[in-house]
Structure 1
């Protein structure tokens, strides 16, 4: 399912983003980076040696520096993790903030890389990088109940396994807003307990 840059831009302009006022959390940003002229996005697996969330599936991203805008942070992290440098004109828009159990306030940034970029994954941060077709996320998620929370855990089937929130929540909202034209909210979806640390 290819989407044009104009389509993504228009969908994000129609979307009324909901930021969260959570000064108790550390600000962070992730990039939903569209590649192959809008047919896929980049998904990484975090290196097993990282202190936090080692081995988990994630969108490129990380903590924002003081005074740094979320979109600039997402582009910086993309360059640090995958060697992909994008200018500010690659920024298409933002989705809703997502508060994590591990103490971060994530702002998802949609980026357009366009053609098939050359990637140079940083082995200190990334063990795998995949170009995932947008068709793969244009599916209904699975919801699981856990005894530790009243909220459902959201899971997306990607690459033959289930990817959990926050990544699953962010990608589900991208699917709803950009691919389906629906203003679906995802901040209430839960993360699995292993991601709470």
Structure 2
């Protein structure tokens, strides 16, 4: 299991944030289903040897990779680095761009840019404990036992096909 340090300076504030995420995400998804906005995101597949790091958010049942939305004017690689720092406390590492996929996920037309990070060992993680509440380092043969987000499924399908 990875060395995990949770961000706990204010447990009540963290709990309030998790509640906001849990209540706000279904409302946002409903709005996106009506509006069908365009969205652009960046996700990072972190490999430790053959194992892949999955993250669990506080507001969805599926597991994903660290990452999130690309801000206006932000490059995909910069967004990926920012999200790694915000969500799991990883410092800047050289990321390898791999692919991008388009699809409709959570009601949005989404373009997701993927990056890979290959590590010999997993450094200490500092989860934000608001958006990201858990991690799991899993072997490739165990991935089928996890509910995964649509973009992660698309990434893995591309890896099997490529």
Structure 1: how far apart are the matches of 2:82 and 2:119? Answer: 14
Aligned partner of residue 96 in structure 1, secondary structure: strand
- After superposition, the C-alpha distances for 1:19-75 in whole angstroms (9 at most, x for unaligned) are xxxxx612111111122xx22121011113xxxxx3331111110122222122112
Q: When the two structures are superposed, what TM-score results if normalisation uses the length of structure 1?
A: 0.56
1:89-137: CA deviation from partner (whole Å, max 9, x where unpaired): x212221323233323211111223322111111111121111123434
**Structure 1 stretches of 5 or more lacking a match?**
1-23, 49-53, 138-156, 177-181, 183-197
Q: How does 1:40-189 map to 2 (within 5 A)?
A: 40-48=51-59, 54-87=60-93, 90-101=94-105, 102-103=107-108, 104-137=110-143, 157-158=144-145, 161-176=146-161, 182=162
Could you tell me how far apart the structure 2 residues matched to 1:107 and 1:82 are? Answer: 19
CA RMSD of aligned residues (A): 2.0
Query: If each structure's helix is expressed as a fraction of its own residues, which one has the higher value?
Result: 2
Aligned pair count?
Answer: 124
Q: Distance in 2 between matches of 1:75 and 1:60?
A: 10
Q: Which has the higher contact order (CA 8 A, sep 6+)?
A: 2
- The reply on whether 1:26 has 2:32 as its aligned counterpart is no
Q: 1:76 to 1:110 in 2, by over 3 A?
A: same
Give the gaps of 5 or more residues in structure 2: 1-36
**CA–CA distance in structure 2, aligned partners of residues 136 and 55 of structure 1:** 17
Q: Distance in 1 between matches of 2:64 and 2:138?
A: 12
Q: Which residue number corresponds to residue 186 of structure 1? A: none
Give the whole-Å Cα distance in 1 for the aligned partners of 2:89 and 2:111: 24
